[in-house]
Chains A and B, each alone.
Chain A
């Protein structure tokens, strides 16, 4: 349990939405929450999903797994500190959870050329028939560890550690520069 309120500040420049790439749109995702859930060896995604439905159905959100028995629970609504404490208190043995909303930064990359842009940095196959909508993968963009999730046909969400966010942000703009 944290002892002081987390101050969530965007790591991006003042007007991050201003990017001039016609075929690619890069935007930060400022709202929402990121919880990191750790499970013991018996924990499954199904059991965690059921648990979430039982204790916090109003939050919704999605689970993506960076590693066995670990999940990022990511959603778009704001969660107060008190509500987080409530959820934490209801979590049974075998699960542990920390609020990572301040520590992980999400950004949305979309557009018809999005795969050409991401292909310059990441080595996994993001082809539409291989990487389905909703699928996610923990990988690297350049040398920066990032979680890539496909949210729609030509839309991807990228989540990185906060300290890498601006660096990746600049890199993405360089990668997208040819589509201006």
Chain B
């Protein structure tokens, strides 16, 4: 895994400062959705080969939640944004 992460607030930081929460889940299902849709949302996670989006918490720095786009094959990090910026578009 790449050892430096470009935090949008703090700049380049070592990955030891971050806590990794895991995959950005699919959008939350509607309240009355099928049980299988909820099961998928709550429990099932992809483990893709290639591009992957994950929640990272900058625990040792600004303490913000970030959404990081990472390639699981090359370990390249293509994009890091503050998780709050995604809420506006509703695609987190």
Contacts and interface: CB of A to CB of B under 8 A. Distances in A.
Interface of A: 66-68, 123-125, 137-140, 145
Interface of B: 9-10, 12-14, 16-17, 60-64, 82
Closest 7 pairs (CB-CB, A-B): A67-B62, A123-B14, A140-B60, A138-B61, A68-B9, A67-B63, A139-B61
B17 A137 contact: no
Contact of B64 (A68, A123, A124, A145): A68
A123 to B, nearest CB: 4
Contacts of B12: 125
Contacts of A138: 10, 60-62
A68 B62 contact: yes
Nearest to B82: A68
Contacts of A145: 60
Describe A's contact surface by its main secondary structure. strand
A137 B14 CA distance: 13
Contacts of B14: 123
Given A138-B61, A138-B62, A67 B9 contact: yes
Contacts of B13: 123-124, 139
A68 to B, nearest CB: 5
A123 B17 CA distance: 9
B64 A139 contact: no
B60 A139 contact: yes
Contacts of B17: 123, 139-140
A66 B60 CA distance: 10
Nearest to A66: B62
A125 B12 CA distance: 9
Contacts of A66: 61-63
B29 to A, nearest CB: 29
A17 to B, nearest CB: 29
B62 A123 contact: no
B10 A137 contact: yes
Nearest to B17: A140
Contacts of B64: 67-68
Contacts of B10: 137-139
A139 B18 CA distance: 11
Contacts of B62: 66-68, 138
